[in-house]
């Protein structure tokens, strides 16, 4: 978007192809498009957890966390209690957050800092608000725009027993899903822009007159009447540029393929991808995507476990203690599925695998426990 044309009289288009949005939306939809399912042998605990999750729109919250992790490489979620003493959790703007770890091999979270701008309408001034969260309390400071002296505003206890932040990494390096292909995306955008620049610049062809001298008023008259009055032996023809662009299209196609290959994001518009839609073929074509998402799943699961551990700690104070390790977290890929094959697989594994695990494999069942109760009735 910052390209400057050498010749300011020529077109300077700045086309943006939203590959980053496509990559993030596709991978996030594949990863958590199907809601995460939780199982627990203790039905009372599971019901309590599901009630908390429903109150917090947990499925939507997970989607936003996965999207932040896809863009920034990491996502942060703060847990707190609202004015009705209900347990809440909500994702924080990543660009406003700084986690502080100790130097141990476990890299324990010591503090979590959040800073954001406070705008005062009356004085037309801006200040920084800095929140420092530790294992015991949340301390809020205000600073001037130059980040000078900090003034403490308040300090409140949160009772979670640890820093109430769940961290969701995209990978160990905290790299976003499209970060490695930004240069390829820039190259594709530049080629698209240059192609349009050439098209616009040469849209109006020039008329060349050979062996003929005309005054400006003569040319104006010719354009008006659309007639050329020429002497014998003269010649007229249009000067146009060949804009076949075959080489450019080949290069763009190669760049497009590289973007999908190195981001591990499948090209859904690929004819070969859509023409062979069997379950095995889809798995082969999405193997790179599955490998990437498997890493995302392991990192995301650690964040979910931290969320459950924090919920378990505060629930203990409210008389509803439970062990977060007793809760199973089940991810389901959001891919086109053959329900007949799935049903046959589930039926074949009956008496070998628990009903909860089998029903969790079926994409049209959202609440496994409720389905089991319906089955019993």
Neighbour order of strands in the sheet with 87-92: 87-92, 74-81, 165-169
| Strand pairing class (37-39; 74-81) | unpaired
Q: What are the extents of the domains in the chain? A: 33-177+290-336, 337-377
pLDDT at res. 102:
95
pLDDT at res. 316:
75
Residues 6+ apart with CB under 8 A from 9: none
Residues 6+ apart with CB under 8 A from 184: 255, 258, 259, 262
Helix and strand numbers (H, E) in the chain are 12, 12
Strand partners, 290: none
pLDDT at res. 8:
76
Q: What is the pTM of this model?
A: 0.79
pLDDT at res. 365:
80
- Model pLDDT for residues 229-287, shown as the tens digit of each residue: 777 888 888 877 666 666 778 888 899 999 999 999 988 777 666 555 565 666 777 88
**Cα angle 133, 134, 135; round to 5:** 135
| CB-CB contact of 164 with 310 (8 Å) | yes
| CB-CB contact of 149 with 202 (8 Å) | no
Which residue positions in the chain have pLDDT lower than 50?
none
pLDDT at res. 355:
85
């Amino acid at each position: 978007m910052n390209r400057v044309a050498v010749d300011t009289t020529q077109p300077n288009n700045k086309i943006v192809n939203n590959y980053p949005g496509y990559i993030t939306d596709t991978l996030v939809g594949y990863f958590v498009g199907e809601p995460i399912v939780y199982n627990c042998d203790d039905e009372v605990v599971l019901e309590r957890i599901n009630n908390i999750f429903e109150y917090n729109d947990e499925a939507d919250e997970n989607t936003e966390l996965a999207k932040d992790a896809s863009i920034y490489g990491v996502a942060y979620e703060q847990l707190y209690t609202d004015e009705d003493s209900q347990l809440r959790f909500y994702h924080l703007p990543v660009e406003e957050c700084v986690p502080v770890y100790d130097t141990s091999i476990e890299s324990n979270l010591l503090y979590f800092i959040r800073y954001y701008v406070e705008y005062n309408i009356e004085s037309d001034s801006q200040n920084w608000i800095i929140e420092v969260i530790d294992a015991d309390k949340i301390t809020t400071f205000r600073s001037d725009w130059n980040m000078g002296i900090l003034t403490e505003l308040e300090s409140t206890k949160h009772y979670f027993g640890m820093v109430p932040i769940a961290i969701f990494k995209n990978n160990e390096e905290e790299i976003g899903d499209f970060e490695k292909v930004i240069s390829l995306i820039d190259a594709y955008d530049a080629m698209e822009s240059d192609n349009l620049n050439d098209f616009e610049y040469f849209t109006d062809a020039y008329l060349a007159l050979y062996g003929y001298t005309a005054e400006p008023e003569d040319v104006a008259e010719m354009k008006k009447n659309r007639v050329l009055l020429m002497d014998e032996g003269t010649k007229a023809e249009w000067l146009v540029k060949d804009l076949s662009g075959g080489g450019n299209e080949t290069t763009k196609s190669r760049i497009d393929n590289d973007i999908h290959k190195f981001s591990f994001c499948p090209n859904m518009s690929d004819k070969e991808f859509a023409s062979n839609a069997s379950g095995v073929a889809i798995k082969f074509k999405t193997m790179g995507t599955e490998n990437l998402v498997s890493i995302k799943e392991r990192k995301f699961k650690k964040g979910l476990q931290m969320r459950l551990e924090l919920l378990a700690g505060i629930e203990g104070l409210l008389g509803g203690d439970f062990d977060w390790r007793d809760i199973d977290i089940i991810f389901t890929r959001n891919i086109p599925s053959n329900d007949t094959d799935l049903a046959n697989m589930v039926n074949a594994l009956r008496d070998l695998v628990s009903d909860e695990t089998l029903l969790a494999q079926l994409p049209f069942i959202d609440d496994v426990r409720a389905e089991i109760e319906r089955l019993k009735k």
